[in-house]
Amino acid sequence: MDRKRKAYAPFSQTSEAGVAQTPVEGYIDVNQTIYPIVNTGVVNEKGTWVGVKASDDDFFGITKHVAVPNTGETLSPDTGDLNFIDMTGFRDLFIAVKPTRGGSVTFTAVMGPNTNRFANLQPVNPGASLIGNMPQSVPADFEVLFTSTNSMTADVWNIFIIGDTLRNQKNMQFKIVNGSGGESTIEVAFMRMI
């Protein structure tokens, strides 16, 4: 957007040359042009293009675990083409659960499949609980990063948010244990937030 404005001229060209003179017009026209800027990323110190992360718009990794027996466990996501969650650059995670039988379901954050690398390391210990040091921990202690048992309502999406605990995990799944007292088909979906 182009715009003209007046700016005060502290001295004229003749006063700059050493001749004392007050300009007749103490203000001059200044043209200003304002351009919008869109930041889509940066080139980091390694010379690699790094895009700006954005929160997911929709749930992804929707997996339907059919006929999970009482006390049975399964891993999610596991859609065939997507079998882990990459939280690199993300802070929070929504988990949506839709069981066919009401009752308790336990979630534990675990390492993803050993077919996926964690940065440049492979193989990883698949299905092992993610261990780390939480801000409220005694500094030297490592503990399970996330495990929770929650009561679910049948045939609707029960949505939960995990804030900050699992940020930047590169190869993660959730071990899901059916504690509803009977067989249940459990659908699970995920959404990452920055």
CA distance 17 to 147: 77
Expressed as residue numbers, the domain containing 61 is 55-193
174 and 129 in a common domain:
yes
Lowest mean pLDDT among 7-16, 87-96, 156-165: 7-16
- Burial zone of 147 (CB within 10 Å; 0-12 exposed, 13-18 middle, 19+ buried): middle
Residue-level pLDDT at 38? 82
**Domain identity same for 26 and 92:** no
The rounded percent of the chain whose pLDDT value lies above 70 is: 82
pTM for the model: 0.76
Is position 39 within any domain?
Answer: no
- 16-20, 33-37, 129-133: range with highest mean pLDDT: 129-133
- Asked if 132 and 181 sit in the same domain, the reply is yes
How far is it, in rounded angstroms, from Cα 114 to Cα 120?
A: 12
Question: What confidence tens digit (pLDDT) does each residue in 72-106 have?
Answer: 999 999 988 899 999 999 999 999 999 999 999 99
Residue 103 lies in a domain: yes
